[in-house]
Amino acid sequence: MTSKAIRIAKNGSREVLEYLSVEDRAPGAGEVAVRNRAIGVNFIDVYHRTGLYPVSLPTGIGLEAAGEVETVGAGVDYVQPGDRVVYGTAPLGAYAERHVIPVEKLIKLPDSVDAESAAAGLLKGITAYMLLQQVHAVKAGETIVQHAAAGGVGLILSQWAKALGARTIGIVSSKEKADLARASGCDETILASENIPERVRALTKGAGVPVVYDSVGKDTFFASLDCLAPRGLMVSFGNASGPAPAFELQELAKRGSLFITRPSTLHYLAKAEDLRAAASELFAMITKGAVKITIGARFKLEDAAKAHEALESRKTTGSTILLP
């Protein structure tokens, strides 16, 4: 038996994404074969494709999808064939009709969350959970700054922050994205073309903010540092414009004894119980309507290159998914 999948044999531009027939394999001990119904597209997929985040080649690509359990390997009792599941930190290969993954990476999907929302929202949602609850425990009344506020993580993070009672200043690239960000929980928006630190200082009466969430990287790094209050935390969690620049540690001291971190869900949610607990928090937020998953674009699996083009051009809002 064979199924369709996207594979890459070398790093490079979107043209390296190949739509191929691959041999299906039976799950081994502790593994599960999942029939994907919807697949999440994330910026980390671009980093794997280009080689910014090196991976062994040739390889599949993609970390996130939702579907049904097809078959299970020996020793698996968490799920059974037919169960609805989602995963977001699996081994590479989610851009496929079928994917075999370790059971500890699987999360059961409640009836209240559909497959498309799960695939569009899991990795971004647990990232938002990590950022708001673990990297910096956001408190009611705090003001936070987040970049790419109309993106997949951004829309979830601002809604979740609103539910926590925080005030969010969202950075966006256009007036249209500003409207979307405000509709999703941002109290204030700033265009990326403006003087971001100056606007943040004006909106905080000169105080700055305790935390900045920056997924853009190179283009916004120092502006983000300049938004922080003394002893504030810079959270760099993405590289949409390229890797964050090298800098002297003294830059943190002269801006007010700042802190900086580069977190990853692969470390914060490495254990199955932690991953599933984070997902449960996300599903609860979705079920009660506090977080709505916005799917801005849908592409066929075979059109993965078009999905990457849309993502890299920053034309997308919300989440992008592939449909097998």
Asked whether the predicted pLDDT for residue 245 surpasses 80, the reply is yes
pLDDT value for 243 = 86
- Categorize the per-residue pLDDT at 106 as very low, low, confident or very high, splitting at 50, 70 and 90: very high
Asked whether the predicted pLDDT for residue 301 surpasses 80, the reply is yes
pLDDT value for 318 = 82
- Which of 179, 189, 177 is CA-nearest to residue 151? 177
pLDDT, tens only, 130-150: 999 999 999 999 999 999 999
- Which of 310, 321, 292, 311 is CA-nearest to residue 183? 292
pLDDT, tens only, 256-271: 999 999 999 989 999 9
Contacts of 311 (CB under 8 A, 6+ apart): 41, 43, 46, 320
Domains of the chain are 2-121+272-323 (3.90.180.10), 140-262 (3.40.50.720)
pTM for the model stands at 0.90
- Written as one string, the DSSP assignment of 178-204 is HHHHHHTT-SEEEETTS-HHHHHHHHT
Question: What's the mean per-residue pLDDT of the chain?
Answer: 96
Mean pLDDT of 226-244: 93
pLDDT, tens only, 16-53: 999 999 999 999 999 999 999 999 999 899 999 999 99
Residue 318 or 235, more confident: 235
Percentage of the chain with pLDDT > 70? 100
Q: Is 71 exposed, middle or buried (0-12, 13-18, 19+ CB in 10 A)?
A: middle
Looking at 105-109, 130-134, 316-320, which range is the least confident one?
A: 316-320
pLDDT value for 90 = 84
